[in-house]
Amino acid sequence: MQIVHELGHVLAALVSGGRVAAVVLNPLEFSRTDLAINLHPLFVAWSGAMVGSIVPVLAAAGWPRTRLPARPVVRFFAGFCLIANGAYLGAGSFVGAGDAGDLLRHGAAIWHLWLFGLATVPVGFWSWNGLGPSFGLGAGAGRVDIRMTRLTAVCACVVVLAVCALTWRSSLGAGRDQTDTRSTDTSSAGFATLAEKAAFLQEYVLFRRSYLQLDFDIEYHDNSSGSDAVPGPSDWDIRIVAVVPANELPAWTSGLTPVTVVDTKWLVGVTGSINLDGVDQWFQKAGVVVGVDEINAVVVYRNATN
């Protein structure tokens, strides 16, 4: 189920111009797809549950044409995928976890997630109806088609071996490659579109915002990995200048304290054409400074470790 779900994220990222950094398929934890570039996060977030539900249903519908045994197993799997994906988004909407959290952050309404759950979970349970005898229950009186058992066992072994091989290869590559690091010194001038700028920026900040114009300069030294890592926490200096939707201005200053005097020399290092003459309100907390021009909806932001 997790493999099909993550396949949805991967395919959506690829067709929308994104780049996949890693796919985690560990049976001891929730699977996930990490993206290096994600130009359409809402589309990618929806695609996991969508593909993870639709593909198994199509497989169950088309299985009889193959004349292979194990149709009850495929039907059971399709129902399980419907229930799992529907419950994942529906329940996740209340705590903002996993894909549900990503969907809500990128503009999906919470009732969209509830509607998806209401549409998939009942259908999943319905698809299980009447399968008992095929698994030796009820009228099956303990009898199971041996061909179905053998084919299911073979498929299960193939899936387990494939996941183990992928996990081993990933671990081996991580052990050999000591240059895989998030360290960067990047200006927004190197990106052609606003979407590319926003996608790169979101890899280095915890918040998710909308932008009408965006310039930034990011210096990030990742001390957790790489051949040049040093003991201790990572260091960064993230500087942003942006024009944003006016209704999102309060989100930029939430939790910060108004101040009257700040050092603005750091703005010189941010290349761009956004006019900053109207920035007259300043806010800060430890390591973070934000300036706002309410009339033109301009925000300047700095988060630095030193």
C-alpha to C-alpha distances, 155 to 73, 128, 151, 208, nearest whole angstrom: 11, 20, 6, 41
The predicted-structure confidence for 224-270, as pLDDT tens digits, reads as follows: 554 444 444 568 899 999 999 999 999 999 989 999 988 899 998 88
Shared-domain flag, residues 165 and 196: no
**Do 230 and 139 lie in a common domain?**
no
What pLDDT was estimated at residue 164? 64
Of the pLDDT bands very low, low, confident and very high (cuts 50, 70, 90), residue 300 is very high
Highest mean pLDDT among 21-35, 162-176, 248-262: 248-262
Is residue 119 scored above 70 in pLDDT? Answer: yes
* Residue that finishes a domain, picked among 137, 156, 176: 176
Same domain, 167 and 188: no
**Domain identity same for 132 and 201:** no
For the chain, the average pLDDT equals 83
| DSSP line for 117-183 | HHHHHHHHHHHHTT-GGGGT-GGGTT---HHHHHHHHHHHHHHHHHHHHHHHHHHHHHHH-------
Domain boundary among 176, 198, 216: 176
pLDDT at position 175? 46
My answer on whether 147 and 198 are in the same domain is no
Q: Are residues 66 and 191 in the same domain?
A: no
Name the residue range of residue 129's domain: 2-176
DSSP, residue by residue, 279-292:
--EEEEETTEEEEE
69 and 90, same domain (yes or no):
yes
Cα-based distances in Å from 299 to 174, 189, 243, 293? 39, 18, 6, 6
Same domain, 197 and 141: no
**Residue of 14 and 177 predicted with greater confidence:** 14
**Are residue 8 and residue 54 in the same domain, yes or no?**
yes
Check whether residue 34 and residue 160 sit in a common domain: yes
Between 58 and 101, name the one with better pLDDT: 58
Note the pTM of the prediction, 2 decimals: 0.56
Query: Of the residues 150, 176, 202, which one is the last residue of a structural domain?
Result: 176
pLDDT digit string, tens, across residues 67-86: 777 788 888 889 999 999 99
Give the count of domains, the chain: 2
Q: Which residues contact 243 (CB under 8 A, 6 or more apart)?
A: 211, 212, 213, 214, 274, 296, 297, 298, 299
| 137 shares a domain with 105 | yes
CA distances from 289 to 212, 268, 281, 302, 303 (A): 21, 15, 11, 5, 7
One domain, residues 169 and 198: no
